[in-house]
Amino acid sequence: MNIENKKYHLYNSSAVISIIIIEILFWSISYLTLQYLVTNVEEFRFQYPSLLWVFLIIPIIDISWLFNRIWKNKALKQYASESVVTSIFNGFSNTRSILKFVLFRIGIGLVIIALTNPQYGENERTVESKGIDIMIALDVSKSMLAEDIVEGYNRLKIAKIGISRLLDQLHGDHVGIVVFAGEAYKQLPITPDYFVAKLFLKSIQTQMISSQGTDIGNAIDQCMSSFDFSRETNKAIVILSDGEDHEEQAIEAAKNAAEEGVVTCTIGMGSTKGVPIPIFRKSKKVGVVKDKNNETVLTKLNEENLISIAQAGDGTYIRAQGLDLQLKKILERIKKIEKSTLKKERYSSYDDQFQWFLIPGLLLLLLNVFISEKRGIIEDQIKLFK
């Protein structure tokens, strides 16, 4: 083969030698660096060590590159004559081809190391979680099915929307839920998990309690029993109801709670104008509730009762307006309660070092894209002067 023909041939012997050299250098440097870090940097670690298995693709890359060179040589000999090839392009540069692969190989290696996220520089940090314990008491009596606040939304549905929005605005507080009608029971114990609280909230329906009525006093007592008074945290109760309390214990219960340092706030659900209570069967309205005399039972908001409960409990009363429960006032009152340290944790954190491998790796891969295997004019001139 003359010199001119050599321009159109990629040498596989030099390619194999290049692969051997680059792999020996890469793995030697990587091993020595790792040994140094493990020995001298106690906090060094890989955040995702399982991703080191990705290095198994390296032999595949090496072999694929060799086969690609062999295929190019065969393709030129098989599909084009020398006169045609010389008129199409100026030939291959073995030096550029090998340099292009070396950049690609090192770039891929650095990116794989970056994926494992090497870390060192352990820091100990103390995190304090501050907040208060909040019990939410939700009225689920049949009167909460009345649609007198927003058309198409009953009182209970609007109350649940309001509670969900309240949870979205809390930070670091623990919450629990009590449902009540003629009696009360704990729906959700106090938890810092607002996502769980929302799941329980969705399941609340008026059918949960068969005993009808509105015993707010019992609901407050149930909330008080849900608090863990051995924990030195400040506490609050938020009651959502139409206030049609058929018992006389609510104000006394709120006073007792205030004496224990628990603030009681109330939210009025409904309008002061009497409206009928719908009856549903299989989600379809089939009539309204009637008394023994076959007269329509009307329900209305007992604002005075809820205001009295809030005053006795050293809290705040607000009235639902549309889908907005005017939670700003409730939140302002809750924020006035001094927040206690609910949890204090010490934990270790590591500084990420992946960027030192990712950035050079990406730059090498980008540089590889701009390097062509084609032979340049300067290389031909160098040949002429030899």
DSSP 34-46: HHHHHHH-TT-EE
> 224 vs 84, which has greater pLDDT?
224
- Inter-helix orientation angle 303-312/250-259, to 10°: 20
pLDDT at 17 over 80: yes
For 309, left (φ over 0), alpha (ψ -120 to 50), or beta?
alpha
- b/e burial code for range 187-220 (CB count within 10 A of at least 16 → b): bbebebebeebeeebeebebeebeeebbbbbbbb
Listed in sequence order, the residues at least 6 apart from 279 whose beta carbon sits closer than 8 Å to its beta carbon are 285, 286, 287, 288, 289
For residue 267, give the H/E element and its range: strand 262-268
Provide the pLDDT for residue 384: 37
Could you give the count of Cα atoms lying within 13 Å of 21 in the half-sphere of its Cβ?
10
Provide the pLDDT for residue 55: 93
Tokens of 228: 């863990």
Q: Tell me: the pLDDT tens digits for 303-355?
A: 999 999 999 999 999 998 888 777 778 878 877 776 655 555 555 567 788 89
> 127 vs 278, which has greater pLDDT?
278
Q: Tell me: the pLDDT tens digits for 347-382?
A: 556 778 889 999 999 999 999 888 877 765 555 554
In degrees and rounded to multiples of 5, residue 266 shows phi and psi of -130, 145
Provide the pLDDT for residue 251: 93
Parallel/antiparallel/unpaired status of strands 133-139 and 284-288: unpaired
Residue 350's nearest CA partner among 46, 39, 37 is: 46
Highest mean pLDDT (candidates 13-17, 84-88, 376-380): 13-17
Provide the pLDDT for residue 2: 40
β-partners of residue 137 are: 178, 239
Lowest mean pLDDT among 157-161, 167-171, 230-234: 230-234
The DSSP letter of residue 165 is H
Highest mean pLDDT (candidates 69-83, 112-126, 361-375): 361-375
Q: Tell me: the pLDDT tens digits for 221-270?
A: 999 999 988 877 889 999 999 988 766 789 999 999 999 999 999 999 99
Mean confidence (pLDDT) of the chain: 83
Please give the model's pTM, rounded to 2 decimal places. Answer: 0.57
Q: Tell me: the pLDDT tens digits for 104-114?
A: 999 999 999 99
Could you give the count of Cα atoms lying within 13 Å of 382 in the half-sphere of its Cβ?
6
Mean pLDDT in residue range 284-288: 80
User: Rounded to the nearest 5 degrees, what angle is found at the Cα of 272, between the Cα atoms of 268 and 278?
Assistant: 85
Provide the pLDDT for residue 351: 79
DSSP 108-152: HHHHHHHHT-EEEEEEEEEEEEEE-EEEEEEE-SGGGG---SBTT
- Domains of the chain (ranges plus CATH)? 3-117+353-385 (no CATH), 128-344 (3.40.50.410)
Provide the pLDDT for residue 386: 39
Provide the pLDDT for residue 116: 92
Give the residue carrying structure tokens 């029993």.
225
For the chain, give the percent of residues with pLDDT over 90.
Answer: 39
pLDDT at 179 over 60: yes
